[in-house]
Chain A
Amino acid sequence: MLALELDSLTKRFGDKAAVDDVSLSLEAGAFLGLLGRNGAGKSTTLKMVTGLLKPTSGRIRVLGLDLEADSLAVKRQIGAMPEDMALLDMLTGPQYLRFVGRMYGMPDALIDGRREELFDKLDLAVLPKQLIADYSFGMKKKVALCAALIHGPRIVLLDEPFEGIDPVTSRTIKDILHSLQQCGVTLVLTSHILEVVERLCPLIAILDDGKLKGFGPLEELRHGGESLEQLFVNLVGGSQKGNLSWL
């Protein structure tokens, strides 16, 4: 069964096409790394898949369900960590996760149990009355990740999950993502850290200026054993700009 299908997906903001006629499909249990330069359309694509943005044209199907027609059923299957995290920062971490769990119809005892396990795995030690507003960036990122995973989604979409995360936690997150994949969860992540994507994601999609420049297994995409960085630069272009004139 296909977990995710994007069919001629387009998103325009005025005259600018942020995502331009993107089509791809993922099997259940796939792990896709979505790459692109800043403003290439990665976050816009993820926002459309999570229902945060409406496509200008094209269709999205998640686990066989049409996102437009059945958005609530789709949202129940998805766990997402958006770029700006969008947390309710006047709640404490445990209060926020209770809120999120309840939104998915989970009983409080189950929410608390999973929260403790997630906090433990991610080394998230918070003071009982500390508000999310007072967390460090990395702590907020971990809470957002917990919120994306707590209800046991079938598809997980993560926008820059490793940004601002310490190396030890980064390793833990990678382990969690691996175990999710082994359980048949479909994963899509965006990252600018190519080494991480190269090690984690068997599937790669590269966006540039809203267009899909390359999609497929990493091994098939790179010809002659070139690195992901080289492949990326070849596909999206890029040039040496030289040193700063005043240095």
Chain B
Amino acid sequence: MVVSPFRALLAAHSQTTWNQSVRELGRQGQWALVLTVLVAATFGAGMLLVGTGILGWVLGGALDRPILPLVLGGMLTAVGFGGGLMGGVLGGARQLAWESYRGFPLRTSTLYGAELVAGFGDLLPLALGSATAGLLVGLGLRVPATLPLVPLVWLETVLTLLAVQLLVEGLAGVLVRRLRTLLLALGILIWLGSTLLGGRVPAKSGSTTAAPISAVQVERLRAIGTRIGAAMEFLPATASARSLLLARQGRWGAAVGAHIYPLGLLALLMLMGAQVMHRETEAERRPEKATRRQRLWSFRHPAEGIGRLHFQTIMRSHLGRFGFLMPLMTLVLLKGPLTHLTAKASWAVPAAFAYLSLVGNNFTFNQFGLDRHGVKGLLLLPVAASDLLKGKLLGMAGHQGLQALLLVGLLGLVDRTRPDLLLAGVLLMACIFLAQASVGQWTSAWAPRPMVMDSLKNNNMPFAIGLLSIATSGLWTGLYGGLYALTAWLAPGWLLPVLALAFALTLAAHLALLPYAAAFLDRRREVLVERLG
């Protein structure tokens, strides 16, 4: 039986995923994971489908209202474009190593199609795809005339998500090769972000209590709403949503015609994604430019040398460079909306720093991942395990510290945030980083996974570690964020001293735990060499 290259690529994807899980978790761990995922999927997906189905049923009842196509269009856009953007940024697209493809007689269209479909096998597209299915089926059951169009609308939305995911990841990969271009893109995004947010947020008063919303603010919000509504009329997903209304009215020609625009845009997205992919498969490695003399190995303490090495490794990796987009995304996606949504705008600053501290989880939970084969050289050095871990911590701290500085600069420039709030935010971020790094020292030795230096793809954590990182992220954010909230509420003047004390205590706890983590690392040296070497 001859198997088409398309199916062969998909088979290789699923085999790779399965084999990697077996390698990382062992057979027993894998069965436990499968069981957990099955139980979670049964209950989670069930609730998701029922929940979104009920929502769809409710929306179906109001299909004739003029606002509904806009609401539904907004929801489908959030799934298609928002989900795709998030998936692309998180490195969710599943792709096999390009180097292994380039010699084969493969058409770009085959390769693109297979990578697109394989992308559906990740948690985010699966969850969003199921939610969209529930929503549309619920709506279709309430308004049966729309049912024939439901599969088309679902397919458009999910394919948009997958196409955007691949495109974002491909473009991000191209961008991060040149830090200067990345920074230029960052500047453009700042301008776009601040424009979209409707101008500068007014400077806050000294008080952290809620101020009553004024008539001017209400008017401004209404104006923003009108502008957003007008913009949403042009969304392709709104055209899809409107086709459901047209189908209900029995205007089938117009209903089908309404899909020309979203399908055309989808085709364009796919064409762009395929073009980026084609360029990438044709890409060639240029020899590294001669850089100024490195001083990697001149240091007073081994940890300092390891730290400098690790910092440079992170900064040279695509994922590390991409991290410098995160302060901007934090500002546009988190801080801005939070400021608009809540009168207590000052909460937005710690939330932004807390979020920023968590986006480096790929590095903190897999501290030897970027070393790959180099881990052998690292472990051969006459350096104690505790110094290795300290060095890793210093390197990551440098990387996250630069991101924090960037966020401080952005908040100061764009938002005119008070310096004491900025400093408190940095301290909060440092606390969460230290706590996460403590956990990461164990996971890095327990389940190391090689990370790719020159690509954003396939750098996700193993599934079990991913779950753990979500849990600990929630724990530390709750703990330190709660401390911040309590202090800001009870004694705002004590915010900085309290957070400084929290930082000192976290550092002390980190150093107290370090010998145990180092002993664990010593016991796991063989595993590190086996998995990474």
B107 & A75 in contact (Cβ 8 Å cutoff) = no
Within 8 A of B (CB), among A62-76: 71-73, 75-76
Most chain B beta carbons < 10 A, residue from A75, A87, A103: A103
In chain B, positions 283-302 with a C-beta closer than 8 Å to chain A are 284, 286-287, 289
A-B contact sample (18 more), CB < 8 A, given A16-B287, A102-B7, A131-B23: A13-B287, A75-B105, A78-B103, A80-B103, A82-B99, A88-B16, A88-B96, A88-B97, A90-B15, A91-B15, A95-B12, A95-B19, A98-B11, A102-B3, A102-B8, A104-B104, A104-B105, A108-B2
Q: Which residues of B lie under 8 Å from residue A134 when comparing CB positions?
A: 530
Q: Does B99 contact A131, Cβ atoms closer than 8 Å?
A: no
Residues from 1 to 55 in B contacting A, C-beta threshold 8 Å: 1-5, 7-8, 11-12, 15-16, 19-20, 22-23
Bound together, the chains give a CA A134 to CA B104 distance in angstroms of 24
Q: Which residues of B contact A104 (CB under 8 A)?
A: 104-105
Residue of A nearest to B18 (CB): A90
Q: Compute how far the CA of A133 lies from the CA of B530 in the bound complex, rounded to whole angstroms.
A: 9
Q: Are A95 and B287 in contact (CB under 8 A)?
A: no
Cross-chain contact B286 with A13 (CB below 8 angstroms):
yes
The answer to whether A103 and B106 touch across the interface, beta carbons within 8 angstroms, is yes
Contacts of A107 in B (CB 8 A): 1-2
Contact B19 A91 (CB under 8 A): yes
Instruction: Decide: A99 near B11, CB < 8 A? Known: A52-B102, A105-B2, A134-B530.
Output: yes
In the complex, B282 has a CB within 8 A of chain A: yes
Contact A91 B16 (CB under 8 A): yes
Given contacts A13-B286, A99-B12, A102-B8, is CB(A90)–CB(B19) below 8 Å? yes
Please tell me if the beta carbons of B103 and A86 are within 8 angstroms of each other in the complex: yes
A86 to B105, Cβ gap below 8 A? no
A196 lies within 8 A of chain B by Cβ: no
Known: A84-B99, A90-B16, A91-B12. A76 touches B287 (CB 8 A): no
- B99: A residues at CB distance < 8 A: 82, 84, 86
* Cβ < 8 Å to B, chain A residues 148-178: none
Which of B2, B11, B20, B96 is packed against the most chain A CB atoms within 10 Å?
B2
List B contacts of A16 (CB < 8 A): 287
Q: Which of B15, B19, B100, B103 contacts A75 (CB 8 A)?
A: B103
Q: Which A residues are CB-close (under 8 A) to B284? A: 52-54
| Across-interface contacts of A225 in B (CB, < 8 A) | none
Please name all residues of chain A whose beta carbon is closer than 8 Å to the beta carbon of B96 when the two chains form the complex. Answer: 88
Q: Which residues of A contact B286 (CB under 8 A)?
A: 13-14
Q: Judge whether B105 and A76 touch: CB under 8 Å.
A: yes
Contact of A103 with B8 in the complex, beta carbons under 8 Å: yes
A222–chain B nearest beta-carbon distance, Å = 33
A residues at B contact (CB < 8 Å):
13-14, 16, 50-54, 71-73, 75-76, 78, 80, 82, 84, 86-88, 90-92, 95, 98-100, 102-109, 129, 131, 133-134
| Contact status B100-A86, CB under 8 Å | yes
What would 26 A/B residue contacts be, using CB atoms closer than 8 Å?
A13-B287, A14-B287, A53-B284, A54-B282, A73-B105, A80-B103, A82-B99, A86-B103, A87-B100, A88-B16, A88-B97, A88-B100, A90-B15, A90-B23, A95-B12, A98-B11, A102-B3, A102-B4, A102-B7, A102-B11, A103-B5, A103-B105, A105-B5, A106-B2, A108-B3, A134-B530
In chain A, what residue has the closest Cβ to B533? A133
A71 CB, min distance to chain B CBs, angstroms: 8
Nearest residue in B to A18 (C-beta to C-beta)?
B287
Q: Name which residue of chain B comes closest to A86, CB basis.
A: B99
**Inter-chain contact A95/B15, CB cutoff 8 Å:** yes
Residues of A within 8 A of B106 (CB): 72, 103
CA distance A226 to B530 in the complex (A): 47
- Looking at the assembled complex, report how far the CB atom of A133 sits from the nearest CB atom of chain B, in whole angstroms: 7
Q: CA separation between A65 and B99, bound complex, in Å? A: 24
Most B-side CB within 10 Å, residue of A76, A80, A84, A98: A98
Which of B12, B15, B23 meets A133, CB within 8 Å?
Answer: B23
CA distance A69 to B233 in the complex (A): 45
Question: Which residues of B approach A to under 8 Å, CB–CB?
Answer: 1-5, 7-8, 11-12, 15-16, 19-20, 22-23, 96-97, 99-100, 102-107, 282, 284, 286-287, 289, 530
The distance in angstroms between the C-alpha atoms of A16 and B288, with both chains bound, is: 12
| Secondary structure of the A contact surface, majority rule | mixed
- Enumerate chain B residues within 8 angstroms of A92, measured Cβ to Cβ: 19
Q: Given A13-B287, A108-B1, check contact A51 B103 (CB 8 Å).
A: yes
Q: Which residues of B contact A98 (CB under 8 A)?
A: 8, 11
Task: Determine the distance from Cα of A30 to Cα of B246 in the docked complex, in whole angstroms.
Answer: 69
CA distance A109 to B1 in the complex (A): 7
A231 to B122 alpha-carbon distance, docked (Å): 58
Contact A75 B1 (CB under 8 A): no
User: What residues of chain B lie closer than 8 Å to A105, measured between beta carbons?
Assistant: 2, 5
Q: How far is the CA of A88 from the CA of B8 in the complex (A)?
A: 13
Nearest-Cβ distance from residue B242 to partner chain A, whole angstroms: 42
Q: How far is the CA of A137 from the CA of B103 in the complex (A)?
A: 21
Q: Are B2 and A90 in contact (CB under 8 A)?
A: no
> B1 to chain A: which residues have CB within 8 Å?
107-109
- Looking at the assembled complex, report how far the CB atom of A92 sits from the nearest CB atom of chain B, in whole angstroms: 7
Quick check: B19 and A131 within 8 Å, CB to CB?
Answer: yes
Residues in A whose Cβ lies below 8 Å from that of B19:
90-92, 95, 131
A106 CA / B100 CA spacing, docked (Å): 18
Q: Is the CB of A86 within 8 A of B97?
A: yes
What are the nearest 9 A-B pairs in CB distance?
A: A102-B8, A75-B105, A86-B99, A103-B104, A90-B16, A72-B105, A102-B3, A76-B105, A99-B12
Give complex CA distance A52, B282 in Å. 7
User: What residues of chain B lie closer than 8 Å to A75, measured between beta carbons?
Assistant: 103-105
**Nearest chain A CB to B8's CB is how many angstroms away?**
4
The interface residues of chain A lying within 8 Å CB-to-CB of B107 are: 72
Q: A72-B107, A103-B105, A131-B23 are in contact. Are A88 and B2 (CB under 8 A)?
A: no
Measured in the bound complex, the distance between the Cα atoms of B12 and A131 in whole Å is 13
Which residues on B sit within 8 Å (CB–CB) of A76? 105
Q: How far does the alpha carbon of A103 sit from the alpha carbon of B5 in the complex, in Å?
A: 5
Nearest to B532 among chain A residues (CB) is: A133
Report how far A76 CA is from B5 CA in the complex, Å: 13
B7: A residues at CB distance < 8 A = 102
Q: Tell me whether A129 and B97 are in contact (CB under 8 A).
A: no
Q: Distance (Å) between the CB of B34 and the closest chain A CB? A: 17
CA distance A103 to B114 in the complex (A): 13
Residue numbers in A under 8 Å from B102 (CB-CB): 51-52, 86
* Distance of A100 Cα from B2 Cα, bound (Å): 12
